Amino acid sequence: MAIRVNPKLIGELKRYGAEDVHNCYHCGNCSAVCTHADDVFVFPRRPMRFLQMGLEKRIEGILDPWLCYYCGQCSSQCPRGAEPGETMMSLRRWLTSRYDFTGISKLFYQSWKAEIAAILIVALLTASGFLWYGVSHGDIQTYDGPSAFLPSSMVHIFDWAMASVLVLLLGINSIRMWWLTTGSNEKTRGPWWAYLKCLYLLPLHFFTQKRYGKCETRRSWLIHLALMLSYVTMLVLIMFFLRLLQDGPGIRWAVHSFGYLASAGLLFTIGYAVYGRIRKTEVHLNHSHESDWIFLWMLLLVTATGVLQHVLHRTGTGMAANVAYLIHLALVVPMLTLEVPFSKWSHLAYRPLAMYLGDIHRIALARRPQAARAMESLKMAS
């Protein structure tokens, strides 16, 4: 069965950041230099080819873009300036929008104005929601205690509710990812026991991103790891230790020292990324899509307001602290509800999932007869 070439797709990908893909003439240098590419996952060349030819179904079906950590070596080595690294990034954006069943992701990637508008709307809704609660249940001057404006118990319940919604959305999208890349194709689906055997890969890659460490530039991995662990620390503190964290006025060093470390980590790594993108210090920071900026700025603002409200609280200005906290929450909510399932932050699920599914693919392929395996490792049969 012949598959129809669609030269229009590449034009659509421009909105997602793909540039110069046409320059690629398939010398294969990029795949040769990539530390992670192998016989089964030939990238960035295979995704570049599918993209040039507009084979949407094929692109939806591959894991390759997620196996890439954008060290940028491929782009440095490309003799034609076809930017394979950035193309992989743009494919990740496109795939994010395809895995998303709601269509919101697609809207955001194609229009940064829509994303900003959505953020503002959610921020305003959040702010008005919390403001109404605070005004009706407490006193704006008070941060701690029974008449607290934004008591930790309430915020805690809200956090868990929001988290559940997020997990649900992301979970559904992740299942769609599994179906498109693995489940719908009997050649890659793999036996049920493989799913159990490889399960450890999910937390392993989530927490350590150890494959990123194998890229030629270790520094990027370390910075990202620091960013991620700082974030996870804050998340754990907020989800499980909110009362200890929030309620003052004193400082509980056992808890707060983690918070300070994490905040410092966040500020440093985000600052590094922002600086890098402005000055284009490294290959993978040369190209910045609006979604990259929105993500970074939101993260920075959230961290900054979080630190601010803590400082204001602990230095005694209750109202200022509450206002800062309100702003903080008004930023946190859109950041998490919009960025995680629909935008750049979705990679926290898709990447580890891709590592996991990648091994399942390998097991499935290894079980196929010898001759068919060689053929199919290089193409996805329809």
Partner 1 sequence: MAQLKIGVYVCNCGTNIAHTVDADSIVETVWKIPDVTIARSYRYMCSNPGQEMIINDIQGLELDRVVVAACSPRMHERTFRNACKSGGINPYLFEMANIREQCSWVHSADRLSATAKALALTKAAISRVRCHEPLDPLTAEMCPSTLVLGAGIAGMTAALELALAGHPVCLVEKTDRLGGNLARLDLTAPYLYSARDVLQERMVRIRQTENISVLLNSQLKSLTGFIGNFTATIANGNPSADEKVLHVGNVVVATGYKEFDAARITHYGYGKLPDVITSFEFERMLRTGRILTKAGKEPRYAAIIHCVGSRNKEFHGYCSRVCCMTALKYAQEIKGAIPECYVSDLYIDMHAFGKGCEDFYKKSSEVKTLFLMYGKNERPVIRKAEPGDDCEMLIEIDEKLSGERIEIPADLVILMVGMEAREDSGEVARLVNISQDKDGWFMESHPKLDPVATTTEGIYIAGTCVAPKDIPDSVAQARAAAGRILGRIAKGKIEIDGVFAEVNEDRCSGCRMCNELCPYSAIEFDETKKRSHVIAAACKACGCCVAACPSGAIKGRHFTDQQIYAQIEGVLA
Q: Footprint of partner 1 on this chain (CB under 8 A)?
A: 1-5, 7-8, 10, 20, 22-26, 46, 49-50, 52-53, 55, 58, 80, 378-379
Question: What is the C-alpha separation between 70 and 66, in angstroms, rounded?
Answer: 10
Cα separation, 298 vs 301, whole angstroms: 5
Q: For residues 100 and 212, give the distance between their C-alpha atoms in angstroms, rounded to a whole number.
A: 25
When the beta carbons of 38 and 216 are compared against partner 1, the nearer one is 38
Is 25 or 207 the residue whose CB approaches partner 1 more closely? 25
- Residue 42 or 131: which CB sits closer to partner 1? 42
Nearest by Cα to 144 from 254, 252, 6, 17: 252
Q: What is the spatial distance between Cα 142 and Cα 246, in angstroms, rounded to a whole number?
A: 13
164/184 with CB nearer partner 1: 184
Q: Shortest distance, CB of residue 59 to partner 1, whole angstroms?
A: 11
Look at residue 113 and give its three-state secondary structure: helix
Distance (Å) of CA 308 to CA 77, 298, 332: 44, 15, 14
Nearer to partner 1 by Cβ, of 14 and 252: the residue is: 14
Enter the tokens of residue 188: 């890659």
DSSP codes of every residue in 359-376:
HHHHHHHHTS-HHHHHHH
CB 381, min distance to partner 1, A: 9
CB 3, min distance to partner 1, A: 6
Which lies closer to partner 1 via its Cβ, residue 26 or residue 214?
Answer: 26
Q: CB 62 → partner 1: shortest distance, Å? A: 12
d(CA 142, CA 94): 46
Cβ nearer to partner 1, comparing 2 with 196: 2
Least Å distance between CB 58 and partner 1? Answer: 8
Nearest to 215 by CA among 50, 369, 76: 76
Nearer to partner 1, 85 or 265 (CB): 85
Q: What distance in Å separates the CA atoms of residue 242 and residue 74, rounded to the nearest whole number?
A: 44
Contacts with 295 (C-beta within 8 Å, 6 or more apart), sequence order: 339, 343, 344, 345
Least Å distance, CB 4 to partner 1, is: 5
Residue type, 115: E
CB atoms closer than 10 angstroms to residue 49 = 16
Task: Please state the closest distance from residue 355 (CB atom) to partner 1, in A.
Answer: 25
CB of 241 to partner 1, least distance (A): 52
Nearest to 129 by CA among 271, 336, 329, 371: 329
